[in-house]
Structure 1
Amino acid sequence: MKPAPFDYHAPATIEEAVGLLAELGEDAKAIAGGQSLAPMLALRLAAFDHLVDLRRVAGLRGIERRDGSLWIGAGTTQAAIERSAEVAEAVPLLARATPLIGHFQIRNRGTIGGSIAHADAAAEYPAVALALDARLEACSPRGRRTIPATGFFTGLWSTDLADDELLTGITFPVAGGRRGFAVEEYARRHGDFAMAGAAVAIELDDGARIRRCGIGLFGLGPAALRATAAESAATGSAAADASPGEVGRAAMAELDSVPSDLHGSAAYRRRVGAEMVARAWQKALQEASDG
């Protein structure tokens, strides 16, 4: 099949892009790398009268240190993130999650902003943003605002962005001190969407107690989720007392709606999810303990 007919727009600036989205309303859709949206259009699972192509908007690309954090433009490709020594040093969890996204052809065109704004429940980047308390920058004709990752993902393929808002950048805290990071996922084949996965970030204090931890889950609900109850239970405990298996089981215990489909039942996904959390937790904790 081929996409339904649409009018094509190629703005050169962020202001021009958000102006088009505001003018055209719900009949318009922004497209970045197109690695998620284009197949949906081709299968006619989605149709829009207008597509606003963001590839020429230079202000959406780049990787920069800003005020002790790392800012990544929403239009930055996943391949650029994968190659970046700056990302590998400052935000290791993001660097480690990137090679798990599809295949290199996908990452050559796919963007970090496109993945996060698309909000696929099985995607890696939304879970990473949650685990790291990333801040998401949005722009509209009304101005700019910052949205915490914990309030950004609202449901299946839905976010807190308004119809005339554009995701322009993501800010991540820079890693430092006794911190560890790991991402684990289970997929039938490399490059397939994960049936269950976890992104974990752990910070230890000088007494080897858990000062902060973030557990982002993907493939285990209608959107990327954060295992807040499991995090709260582990925070403050000695690193040696935080059993990976118990953390994994606690993370699954707070899930309300785990998908069940031809790829696996909800019970199976819970078992796999608990194991993915446990593996990621153990690796992140070891890295943090090693300093």
Structure 2
Amino acid sequence: MKPAPFEYHAPREVDAALDALAEAGAEGKVLAGGQSLIPMLNMRLAAPAHLVDINRVSALAAVETTARGVRVGALARHAQIFRSAPVAAVQPLLRQALGLVAHPAIRSRGTVVGSLVHADPAAELPAVLALLGGSVRLAARGAEREVAARDFFVGPMEAAIRPGELAVSAFFPALGARSGTAFAEVARRHGDYALAGVCALVVLDEDLRVSAARVACIGVGPVPLVLDVSGHGADWASAARAVQDEAEPEADIHATAEYRRHLLGVLTERALRAAARSAGSDDGEGEGG
């Protein structure tokens, strides 16, 4: 299949990209990695009148790692972030999640910010941003705003981006002391979309007791489901049951709602245990799988 006709724009500067998007309005789409957009264009699920290709805007490829966290530019590829030791040191959950994203060929072109904008409810990176309380920076001609993750994902395949805006970066806060993370999911094949998945963050106090615990779930709702399970202490089985009670998964051709709820309980317990082990270790790397 072939996409519907569109006008192609290839700006080399951020301002030029914003000008093109401002002129296009609601009829404009942004091309970065293209791993989600190109299939949608070919299947005529999207038919923009204007396509703004930002791949020549080198300023958008920047990745900034500080003690506060990691800011990922709109052109930073999955593979680039996955391989980055400084990123993993500050925010290991990114590497844990990216190891589960698609396949190497797709990770070499796909972008972190593009995945967030696509807002697939079964995707890993929106859950990471939501769990960490991160944000996405949106720019338009003459304006800029930072949107918190809790407000950014508004529905399946729907993010809080206005016509004329460009997602220029995303910010993932760093972990605090004695914090650990982990990501667990089940897919039919490694790299396929998850039937269900859970990423977890556990914080321990000075006596290595649980002081905070949160999870974000994918594949079981229209947006990432973020839940605080701190009140369960280290009783991860109890925390898993609480998450199952809160989730409202739906059935589809891949799995029943009951099976997804079962997976959610198993994965929640697995991810919380792994995150707690990570929090109590020296390297803080955690697990993914």
- Fold in common (TM above 0.5): yes
Aligned to 2:201: 201
State yes or no: 1:19 paired with 2:10. no
Distance, in Å, in 1 between the alignment partners of 2:163 and 2:210 is 40
Distance, in Å, in 2 between the alignment partners of 1:198 and 1:67 is 26
Aligned to 1:184: 184
Distance, in Å, in 2 between the alignment partners of 1:268 and 1:213 is 25
What TM-score do you get using the length of structure 1 for normalisation? Answer: 0.92
Aligned to 1:65: 65
CA positional deviation for 1:81 = 0.5
State yes or no: 1:273 paired with 2:264. yes
Distance, in Å, in 2 between the alignment partners of 1:249 and 1:287 is 22
What TM-score do you get using the length of structure 2 for normalisation? Answer: 0.93
% identical equivalent positions: 40
1:33-65 deviations in Å (ceiling 9; x for gaps): 000111111111221111111111112112213
Aligned to 1:74: 74
Distance, in Å, in 1 between the alignment partners of 2:261 and 2:132 is 23
CA positional deviation for 1:144 = 1.2
Aligned to 2:254: 263
Distance, in Å, in 2 between the alignment partners of 1:205 and 1:7 is 56
Distance, in Å, in 1 between the alignment partners of 2:2 and 2:253 is 27
Aligned to 1:242: 234
Secondary structure, aligned partner of 1:248: helix
CA positional deviation for 1:242 = 2.3
Q: What does residue range 1-291 of structure 1 map to in structure 2 within 5 Å?
A: 1-66=1-66, 68-227=68-227, 231=228, 233-235=229-231, 241-256=233-248, 258-291=249-282
CA positional deviation for 1:69 = 2.2
Question: Which deviates the most, 131-140 or 63-72?
Answer: 63-72
1:43-94 deviations in Å (ceiling 9; x for gaps): 1122111111111111211221346322111210001011101111111001
Whether the aligned pair in 1 keeps the contact of 2:79 and 2:108 (CA below 8 Å) is yes
- The answer for unaligned runs of 5 or more in structure 1 is none
Whether the aligned pair in 2 keeps the contact of 1:119 and 1:224 (CA below 8 Å) is no
Secondary structure, aligned partner of 2:171: strand
Distance, in Å, in 2 between the alignment partners of 1:67 and 1:95 is 17
CA RMSD of aligned residues (A): 1.5
Distance, in Å, in 2 between the alignment partners of 1:213 and 1:255 is 17
What amino acid does structure 2 have at the position aligned with 1:281? L
Whether the aligned pair in 2 keeps the contact of 1:35 and 1:110 (CA below 8 Å) is yes
CA positional deviation for 1:225 = 2.1
Secondary structure, aligned partner of 2:108: helix
CA positional deviation for 1:142 = 4.0
Distance, in Å, in 2 between the alignment partners of 1:180 and 1:133 is 15
Whether the aligned pair in 2 keeps the contact of 1:25 and 1:164 (CA below 8 Å) is yes
Question: Which deviates the most, 269-278 or 56-65?
Answer: 56-65
Q: Alpha carbons of 1:252 and 1:205: their partners in 2 closer, same or farther (altered >3 Å)?
A: same
What amino acid does structure 2 have at the position aligned with 1:174? A
Whether the aligned pair in 2 keeps the contact of 1:130 and 1:214 (CA below 8 Å) is no
1:124-157 deviations in Å (ceiling 9; x for gaps): 0000111111121111124111111111100011
Q: Alpha carbons of 1:66 and 1:144: their partners in 2 closer, same or farther (altered >3 Å)?
A: farther
- The answer for unaligned runs of 5 or more in structure 2 is 283-289
What amino acid does structure 1 have at the position aligned with 2:107? R
